[in-house]
Amino acid sequence: MTKLEKASVAEMLAAKLFNEREGNNIKTIYGTVTTGTTWKFLKLIGQVVEIDLGEHYISDIGKILGILSI
């Protein structure tokens, strides 16, 4: 796991804890890692983190927007 992926996971865990304390039952937290031209997507479900193995490039903006619209 890269440094940026670790930082994104930390933010996702913080969002999960915040929502739990506020009484919000959010089952899935989404995250992204981007350099601006390369994108990678993450998902936190419970205590399990899923990291998209593929990288998505800004030249394929339609695919990135499709993923973000989920």
10 phi/psi in degrees, rounded to 5: -60, -40
CA gap 48, 28 in Å, rounded: 10
pLDDT for position 60: 92
Query: In sequence order, what are the residues at sequence separation of 6 or more whose Cβ sits closer than 8 angstroms to the Cβ of residue 9?
Result: 1, 31, 42, 44, 49
User: Which residue range(s) make up the domain with 29?
Assistant: 3-68
Looking at the structure of the chain, the number of domains it has is 1
Q: Quick: pLDDT tens for 10-63.
A: 999 999 999 999 999 999 999 999 999 999 999 999 999 999 999 999 999 999
The tens digit of pLDDT for each residue in 48-60 reads 999 999 999 999 9
pTM of the model: 0.85
Q: Is the pLDDT of residue 70 over 80?
A: no
Instruction: Find out whether 29 and 43 touch, Cβ atoms under 8 Å.
Output: yes
DSSP lists the bridge partners of residue 60 as none
